Amino acid sequence: MRRAPLFLVLGLLASLPLQACSGGARAGSGSSSGEITLDEIEATTARDAYELLERLRPQWLRGRGSTSFRDPRPALPVVYVDGIRTGGTETLRRIDTGGILSMDYLGAADATTRFGTGHAGGVILVRLRR
């Protein structure tokens, strides 16, 4: 009688990692919410990168809380185009969607690791077609 509950518990524990790994992606999306693919870009009628984000990933354009007690304004994402810092989210209005290959969002921790300090709002990476 003692072995049956033990096997049941072990069986449940063995299935936990599989369930945890399968819950991250959105059903039927084809990509994570941290990337905008060329297929998604070509499927939209947005004229510029800012409008594209407003339609597909509006959360990328939002502030991420205050940066300090002295400055209560939310930290906004910084935009990098092909690895070069171009400014804030308003610079996305100058990028035509026809020239974009893909876009990614990095949270504050990943952005700081990759680009250094000053990225409390995260980073929007734009890769242009060559």
**Contact criterion met (CB below 8 Å) for 119 and 112:** yes
DSSP β-bridge partners for residue 100: 128
What CATH number is associated with residue 36?
A: 2.170.130.10
CA distances from 9 to 3, 17, 18 (A): 10, 14, 16
**Contact criterion met (CB below 8 Å) for 70 and 61:** no
70 part of a folded domain: yes
**Contact criterion met (CB below 8 Å) for 102 and 38:** yes
Q: What percent of the chain has pLDDT over 70?
A: 68
The domain total for the chain is: 1
20 part of a folded domain: no
55 part of a folded domain: yes
Specify the pLDDT at position 130.
83
56 part of a folded domain: yes
Enclosing domain of residue 59: 32-128
Question: pLDDT by residue (tens digit) across 32-72?
Answer: 468 999 999 999 999 999 999 999 999 999 876 655 667 66
71 part of a folded domain: yes
pTM beyond 0.75: the answer is: no
79 part of a folded domain: yes
